[in-house]
Amino acid sequence: MTPTFSLAELAERIGGVLRGDGRAIVTGVADVGEAGSADITWITNPKYVEKLATSRAAAVLVPTDFGPTPMPAILCPRVDRSVAKLLAAFAPAIAKPETGIHPTAVVHHSARVAADASVGPRVVVEDGASIGPRSILRAGVYVGSQTIIGEDCLLWPGVVIRERCTVGNRVIIHPNAVIGSDGLGFYFDGGRHEKIPHIGGVIIGDDAEIGACVCIDRAKFGNTLVGQGSKIDNFVQIAHNVRLGEHCVLASHTGLAGSVRTGRYCVFGGRAGALDNVTIGDGARIAANSMTAKDVPAGQTVSGFPAQEHRKELRVQASLRRLPEVAAQLRELLARVERLEASKHDHP
Amino acid sequence: MTPTFSLAELAERIGGVLRGDGRAIVTGVADVGEAGSADITWITNPKYVEKLATSRAAAVLVPTDFGPTPMPAILCPRVDRSVAKLLAAFAPAIAKPETGIHPTAVVHHSARVAADASVGPRVVVEDGASIGPRSILRAGVYVGSQTIIGEDCLLWPGVVIRERCTVGNRVIIHPNAVIGSDGLGFYFDGGRHEKIPHIGGVIIGDDAEIGACVCIDRAKFGNTLVGQGSKIDNFVQIAHNVRLGEHCVLASHTGLAGSVRTGRYCVFGGRAGALDNVTIGDGARIAANSMTAKDVPAGQTVSGFPAQEHRKELRVQASLRRLPEVAAQLRELLARVERLEASKHDHP
Amino acid sequence: MTPTFSLAELAERIGGVLRGDGRAIVTGVADVGEAGSADITWITNPKYVEKLATSRAAAVLVPTDFGPTPMPAILCPRVDRSVAKLLAAFAPAIAKPETGIHPTAVVHHSARVAADASVGPRVVVEDGASIGPRSILRAGVYVGSQTIIGEDCLLWPGVVIRERCTVGNRVIIHPNAVIGSDGLGFYFDGGRHEKIPHIGGVIIGDDAEIGACVCIDRAKFGNTLVGQGSKIDNFVQIAHNVRLGEHCVLASHTGLAGSVRTGRYCVFGGRAGALDNVTIGDGARIAANSMTAKDVPAGQTVSGFPAQEHRKELRVQASLRRLPEVAAQLRELLARVERLEASKHDHP
């Protein structure tokens, strides 16, 4: 069943103010260039306004102070928030998994599973583990010995959480992520790398979201920490004993080496990283494709490798592009100096 | 059973012309330096011809116009194509999985599975999903609600495909790849990152091949697209709403950020990437370890970060290597200018 | 049960010499700054000695020649080795999986499983595969047709090993790693990428350790090799026909492209890599975030991209940081030369 709303209903639902005829029927969401006559779209930047002229969209979400539009509009104080509500309104209904333990799941008799939790097919829950109220473990999830999963969590298929880890409440973990694997730790002895035991664990704070195929290694001792509200994209590596602060965002392929510490509200762009033992202050940003080898002060944006203050790096990048011409200028200057030197000798 | 062919049989089978005695028996394929007396090898570049002198190989595949060789040769108009046929000829027989649904699979009663499909042990197929004729789902694959798998697909163990995705025909997906996970999308409100629902899906075109541990995120709305015939290597990240064109090749660790669009026949080297919203033209190439922050015209090769035209980048790289000497030259020139200035004052 | 030791017991157990009262009771291991009064900590660098003054730790591990400490100390000839033993002493007991085949495992009748091996829930072992004595396959592991697993191996949940691979003895493979997937190999024909069969396998040497979500592709022919004692971190890509030497260490996100060969004792930092066909000598080191495009001699450390000798790269990096000022100096010098030229014309 496709969700269907009148424009007036939608405006109310997403927290905006209707401008124009509220009776139009909307059945979907689409890009401005691809919207059909029953779709709603959005635009935030006035420079794209001309795209509206040729759009077939039934209506458009715009910021509150946006100028006239060729179709009905919903004026929104925060377009991003309203778009999120819009997408929620049109989300297809997905059957919720049944509560209880699927007959193909293997749950140890000493594990505790809340009565209203949902443990899906092929899930394995080891001895002493605990699954909190309303948490959903999709097919094939593995929960190790003595690991604790909080309330209202959602673990997608193939997630592996090893022993003695703790996952907070309302945590989402995407498919095939691995929590609590041993870190890379060896000492060199007799020509061989000998394993350093990793006897610590991992603690993931409330409301964190962990992407697909993410690896968060357990600590050598103590715990690797993911702060509450932090959002981690696919393929991110969190090494042993990292302490990631609260409400950080780490884009895909980012890597935090051993014992990195970050403050709150840090942002790592795609394929960003930090070498081991680096400390990163509150609100610092590591740009995409950049890796810091030293501490980053709070609030600073760094880029490049080794990363430096972003404005400095931009200047270096700009100079770099002109480098071949610098070499040419240098050659020319040398020739001119040589001529000057020669002429000096002409005038003794 | 080791496959065994006479050289004459092989020449015919791989589309080449025999030169020399066709009765030699070949039982394997090996590198020129490691081939035994019953192995066949190949060589494409005349500069490696001296390696043949010491090779024990029974025969060698060479291009049609290749000079004399110390052992029988098969002359091939396209060596790469003939090598592929050669490897196919020597591929060990692997028992084909039985058709039907393995007793340990969990298939929802509303899912449709073609009679000649093969659903392996521990596979889970959710409600409303569909598995096409002759498709093979190896052990532990997960197919979400209403997801459609086409004909003749091969899904290796641990593949997770979430709800409402579409996989075309003859698609190969390697182990532990994740299709249709939520993209990284949040809006910031009240000091927290609030989740943006991802109500779209993923569509994978015919003949695509998806590597192990690849992540292809579902769209916020509409669909993330992988064009037909595109080949994606391990650990590649395809973010939400990306539109990857047809017949592209993406090497390992490549990342395409949100809403990147590419044309047909694009190539990404290892650990290449594109920042969000970038558009890449037909046949463009992003070199290994390079990331583009802006659109790339059709046919252009770019490298570096931020990526620029490859020839420009090469010039910058060359200048960069000489940079310490540029600084030295500059110091020397300064000294000479100072001497000139001083001598000028000597001649008032 | 928390492990409890007297300091004297611990000193003996970890191979150190007690200095101070050996009766103190130790129940845990912690960082110097966070240790409680029953914790033991360690310090290796004298520059951190002042941290000991405020530490509540019951005792500290230090190198043999370390100066006075405010709490009892254990003097260790090799602190790293003693720390490993210390962590082993405090490792929480984890119930060992039962030997035998779990009733939910699917083991082909032609597979051989040693009587004292442990095959966990949901494991699949295909035809002709072999699991050696005392090896442990955790939940959901997949072992393909004719694949051989040696003695005393530990395979964590979600590991996928495809057909005809060989894993040595005492190998540890972390969750969701993929061994033996097809490499990225195609030839271009008629506007399409046609698949090159990968008929080879993978051989992993004794005592290797393979991280979570690692991908080791099978060879086109012959075998991709991982040398004995090599340690591979999460998300590392080992492409087809790579030959990784013995006792190498590869940190997270490293990528070795097709047919790369390395010697023994090579080290790859985080997100390092080598382009295809590169040969790397014994003991060479590829620094973090660096990728080599050419061969690296034995013992050499390289960095940057394309990687060059590390000291050269450091000089380039240093020059690079001064690049904006070089441009300014060049402009200034040009002005001075112009003044000189002008003054020359003043003195005909």
A34 touches chain B (CB under 8 A): yes
Residues in A touching B224 (Cβ below 8 Å): none
Q: What is the pLDDT of residues B72-112, one digit of tens each?
A: 999 999 999 999 999 999 998 877 899 999 999 999 999 99
Q: How far is C209 from chain B (nearest CA, A)?
A: 19
d(CA A222, CA C110): 45
Q: Which residue in C157, C330, C337 is closest to A336 by CB distance?
A: C337
Q: Which residue in C209, C270, C321 is closest to A316 by CB distance?
A: C321
C241 touches chain A (CB under 8 A): no
Chain A residue closest to C335 (CA)? A333
Residues 116-135 of C with CB under 8 A from B: 122, 124, 127
Task: Return phi, psi of residue C89, to 5°.
Answer: -65, -35
Q: Which residues contact C12 (CB under 8 A, 6 or more apart)?
A: none
Percentage of residues in chain C having pLDDT higher than 70 = 99
Contact yes or no for C178 and B234 at CB 8 A = yes
Contact yes or no for B121 and C140 at CB 8 A = no
d(CA B46, CA B30): 18
Contact call for residues C281 and C296 (beta carbons, < 8 A): yes
Contact yes or no for B207 and C192 at CB 8 A = yes
A337 touches chain C (CB under 8 A): yes
pLDDT score of C183 more than 50 = yes
Instruction: Mutation target for A interface from C252, C285, C319: give the one with most A CBs within 10 A.
Output: C252
Q: Give kind and range of the element (H or E) at residue B327.
A: helix B323-346
- Concatenating the DSSP letter of every residue in A221-274 gives SSEEEE-TT-EE-TT-EE-TT-EE-TT-EE-TT-EE-TT-EE-SS-EE-TT-EE
Which residues of B form the catalytic set? 240
Q: Which residues contact C211 (CB under 8 A, 6 or more apart)?
A: A181, A184, A215, C174, C177, C232, C233, C234, C235, C236, C252
pLDDT score of B348 more than 50 = no
First-to-last C-alpha distance (Å) of chain B: 98
Contact yes or no for C81 and A194 at CB 8 A = yes
C-alpha C288 chain-centroid distance: 12
- Concatenating the DSSP letter of every residue in B238-255 gives E-TT-EE-TT-EE-TT-E
C268 touches chain B (CB under 8 A): no
d(CA A316, CA A312): 6
C neighbour chains, 3+ CB pairs within 8 Å: A, B
Structure tokens at C343: 């003054």
Residues in A touching C156 (Cβ below 8 Å): 160, 162, 181
Q: What is the pLDDT of residues A192-245, one digit of tens each?
A: 999 999 999 999 999 999 999 999 999 999 999 999 999 999 999 999 999 999
Q: To the nearest whole number, what is the mean pLDDT of chain A?
A: 95
Instruction: Give pLDDT, residue B325.
Output: 84
Contact call for residues B39 and B58 (beta carbons, < 8 A): yes
Contact call for residues A39 and A58 (beta carbons, < 8 A): yes
B neighbour chains, 3+ CB pairs within 8 Å: A, C
Angle, helices B310-321 vs B323-346, to 10°: value is 60
Which residues, in sequence order, are bridge partners of residue C160?
A: C142, C178
Q: What is the pLDDT of residues B124-149, one digit of tens each?
A: 999 999 999 999 999 999 999 999 99
**Which letter does DSSP use for residue C277 in this model?**
T
C311 touches chain B (CB under 8 A): no
Residues in A touching B181 (Cβ below 8 Å): 156, 174-175, 211-212, 234
d(CA A233, CA A330): 46
d(CA C344, CA B15): 77
Chain B residue closest to A283 (CA)? B191
Chain B residue closest to A206 (CA)? B192
pLDDT score of B217 more than 90 = yes
Residues 159-198 of C with CB under 8 A from B: 160, 162-164, 176, 178, 181-182, 184, 186-187, 189, 191-198
Annotate A234-267 with b (16+ C-beta within 10 A) or e (fewer).
Answer: bbbbbbbbbbbbbbbbbbbbbbbbbbbbbbbbbb
Q: Nearest-CA neighbor of B281 among B299, B269, B267?
A: B299
Instruction: Give pLDDT, residue C1.
Output: 62
Contact yes or no for A324 and B322 at CB 8 A = no
Order of all β-strands in the sheet with B172-173 = B100-101, B118-119, B136-137, B154-155, B172-173, B209-210, B231-232, B249-250, B267-268, B285-286, B301-303, B308-309
Instruction: Give pLDDT, residue A346.
Output: 66
Query: What number of C-beta contacts closer than 8 Å exist between B and C?
Result: 181
Mean pLDDT of C236-259: 98
State which amino acid sits at residue B194: E
State which amino acid sits at residue C130: S
Residues in B touching A318 (Cβ below 8 Å): none
Q: Nearest-CA neighbor of C218 among A227, B76, A66, B175?
A: B175
Q: Which residues contact C275 (CB under 8 A, 6 or more apart)?
A: B270, B288, C257, C260, C291, C292, C293
Contact call for residues B215 and B226 (beta carbons, < 8 A): no
Mean pLDDT of C233-255: 98
Predicted complex: ipTM over 0.90: yes
d(CA C12, CA C74): 9
Q: How far is C342 from chain B (nearest CA, A)?
A: 12
Q: Which residue has the higher pLDDT, A48 or B216?
A: B216
Residues 193-232 of B with CB under 8 A from C: 207, 209, 211-213, 229, 231
Q: How far is A88 from chain B (nearest CA, A)?
A: 6
Percentage of residues in chain C having pLDDT higher than 90 = 86
Q: Nearest-CA neighbor of B195 among A63, A151, A174?
A: A174
Structure tokens at C60: 């500290």
Contact yes or no for A215 and C207 at CB 8 A = no
Neighbours of B18 (CB within 10 A): 18
pLDDT score of B161 more than 80 = yes
Contact yes or no for B247 and C124 at CB 8 A = no
pLDDT score of B347 more than 80 = no
pLDDT score of C344 more than 80 = no
If phi > 0 it is left, if psi is from -120 to 50 it is alpha, else beta; for residue C325 that is alpha
Q: What is the pLDDT of residues C297-311, one digit of tens each?
A: 999 999 999 999 999
pLDDT score of B1 more than 70 = no
Candidate from B88-102, B274-288, C163-177 with smallest mean pLDDT: B88-102
C157 touches chain A (CB under 8 A): yes
Annotate B295-305 with b (16+ C-beta within 10 A) or e (fewer).
Answer: ebeeebbbbbb
pLDDT score of C2 more than 90 = no
Contact call for residues B149 and A182 (beta carbons, < 8 A): no
Neighbours of C76 (CB within 10 A): 24
Q: Which residue has the higher pLDDT, B326 or C59?
A: C59
Mean pLDDT of A125-139: 98
d(CA B32, CA C93): 52
Domain boundaries, chain A: 5-90, 100-311
B320 touches chain A (CB under 8 A): yes
Q: Domain B100-311 is in which class?
A: mainly beta
State which amino acid sits at residue A35: A
Percentage of residues in chain A having pLDDT higher than 90 = 86
B235 touches chain C (CB under 8 A): yes
Residues in B touching A251 (Cβ below 8 Å): 184, 257
Instruction: Give pLDDT, residue C348.
Output: 47
B31 touches chain C (CB under 8 A): yes
The length of chain A is 348
Contact call for residues C174 and C214 (beta carbons, < 8 A): yes
Candidate from A149-153, B33-37, B164-168 with smallest mean pLDDT: B33-37
Mean pLDDT of C157-176: 98
Which CATH architecture fits A5-90? 3-Layer(aba) Sandwich (3.40)
B322 touches chain A (CB under 8 A): yes
Residues in A touching B312 (Cβ below 8 Å): 321
Helices (H) and strands (E) in chain A, counts: 5, 40
The length of chain C is 348
Instruction: Mutation target for A interface from C87, C285, C326: give the one with most A CBs within 10 A.
Output: C87
Residues in B touching A271 (Cβ below 8 Å): 255, 271, 273, 291
Instruction: Mutation target for B interface from C155, C160, C218: give the one with most B CBs within 10 A.
Output: C160
pLDDT score of B203 more than 70 = yes
Contact yes or no for C221 and B30 at CB 8 A = yes
Contact yes or no for A184 and C231 at CB 8 A = yes
Candidate from B108-117, B268-277, C86-95, C136-145 with smallest mean pLDDT: C86-95
pLDDT score of A348 more than 60 = no
Q: Which residues contact C141 (CB under 8 A, 6 or more apart)?
A: C120, C123, C124, C155, C156, C157, C158, C159, C160, C161
Q: Nearest-CA neighbor of A160 among C211, B130, C74?
A: C211
What sections of B213-322 are H helices per DSSP? 310-321
Residues in B touching A31 (Cβ below 8 Å): 222
d(CA C329, CA A175): 55
Residues in A touching B253 (Cβ below 8 Å): 253
d(CA B160, CA B179): 6
Structure tokens at B181: 């996970």
pLDDT score of B330 more than 90 = no
How do strand A273-274 and strand A291-292 relate by DSSP bridges?
A: parallel
Contact call for residues B157 and B143 (beta carbons, < 8 A): no
Instruction: Give pLDDT, residue B344.
Output: 75
Predicted TM-score (pTM) of this structure:
0.96
Q: How far is A326 from chain C (nearest CA, A)?
A: 7
